[in-house]
Structure 1
Amino acid sequence: MTVQIAVRIPDELAEFIDAEVHKGGARNRTDFVTSAIERDMRRRLAMRDAQILREQGAEDDLDSLVAWSAGRSSSVFSDLD
């Protein structure tokens, strides 16, 4: 589902979006704005996760799995060559 909204942005932002669309950076204005909003959502989620990690510290229940995976990654990827 999609919702149509109307927003007003400064001329220079609209010109920037239009230039990016013209260069092929996005199919249209909608795709450009949607991509920018999705990128900001991911950035905000990452910042929230980083804050939680700072406050609570790292969980160590997966440390042994990480160490095991790190030791095996070179042999796993060499099989792909």
Structure 2
Amino acid sequence: MSHTPHELVEEFPDAAERIHALKETDGHFARLADDYHEVNRQIHRIETNVEPASDAFQTQLRKHRMALKDEIHTILTAPA
């Protein structure tokens, strides 16, 4: 288990500028990015024992983060 936060810019380093631009201009993308950030932070707090949680809840959060990441990836790789 990794205790490293999975920030969007780290997950998609070649898309850092596009991520920033979409957060400013696309409300749907901005909500996805905000949701991803919140879920990602919650997972990080759990992994570092700041906020303990059950294995089932951790798994649920990780699946949710992956679904958000997949949707974000789809947007980032779509033709501009």
TM-score range (shorter-chain normalised) is 0.3 to 0.5
Larger RCO, structure (CA 8 Å, separation 6 or more): 2
Structure showing greater Rg: 1
The structure with the largest helix share of the pair is: 2
Question: TM-score normalised to the size of structure 2?
Answer: 0.32
Normalised TM-score (structure 1): 0.32
